Copies of this chain bind each other. A is one copy, B any other.
Amino acid sequence: MSTRLTFLGAAGFEIAGPTHRILVDPFLTGNPAAPVEPDEIETPDVILVTHAAFDHIGDTAAIARRTGAPVVCGGDVRILLMDQGVPGNQIQATVWGILVEVAGLVVRPVECHHWSMSQLSSGETISGTPLAFIVETEPGVRVYHYGDSSIFDMRLIGELYEPTVAILGCTQPREILHLVPGPGKILTGELSPDEAARVAEMLGVRVAVACHYLEPNEDVDEFLELVPKYDTTGGRRAVAPAVGETITIDGG
């Protein structure tokens, strides 16, 4: 058995294991590298949304409305999706620690040190708790998605839940950074390449998958170089998929 991770750009992935198709942070409209249209996305068993940023929540509402797929997210994202026309009974809000089972899949939300803020159609600003996720797609394949977390001591997450694959940002999707208003130049993602490589070691994963880009850049190269530097297991694989590429993870 195996699990296939297809990179959609930014932090978007379709994770297809033997039993479930999981869509995470599907950002396609407004993503110049999007490999598919939102309408072409195959019906997922569940959609996971880590937080309300536009390049993460992305096309979730449209895909959820079209496919009827259940969504798991934080409480603020639930309100935002309802504001975008997704029925409330299709959306499960959860928070760090509360495991939920949706469509037969157990979803584990874990700590994510970031923010989640958005504006409703009324103009009201809401904020909530960002999520990282761990899902076991098949025995021995536990995929961690970082949800734009910055670095913190994740060794406890590694020890308790033993993820085997980590999806980790290590840069920014530079092609869309002009959409972020303000006078500054954004230099890094929430994790630098060095921090992301350290996180892979804290989590103790077998495979570290780079993300948070549309086109691989020198940050991504640096991540690929640094993952082995912090690897005390001797067997960690680092991968940086092109947008649209599928990575296959062999099961146990």
Interface residues of A (CB under 8 A from B): 70, 72, 74-76, 78-79, 88-103, 106-107, 111, 113-115, 117, 124-129, 150-153, 156, 160, 172, 180-192, 195
Contact present for B188 and A97 (CB under 8 Å): yes
- Residues on B with C-beta less than 8 A from A103 are 183
Which of B74, B180, B195 interacts with A160 by CB under 8 Å? B195
- Residues on B with C-beta less than 8 A from A172 are 98
Contact present for B125 and A90 (CB under 8 Å): no
Contact present for B184 and A97 (CB under 8 Å): no
Contact present for B111 and A111 (CB under 8 Å): no
Tell me how far the C-beta of A175 lies from the nearest C-beta in chain B, rounded to whole angstroms. 17
- Residues on B with C-beta less than 8 A from A192 are 97, 99
Tell me how far the C-beta of A159 lies from the nearest C-beta in chain B, rounded to whole angstroms. 10
Contact present for A184 and B96 (CB under 8 Å): no
Contact present for B91 and A182 (CB under 8 Å): yes
With A75-B115, A76-B117, A111-B113 in contact, is A96–B183 under 8 Å at CB? Answer: no
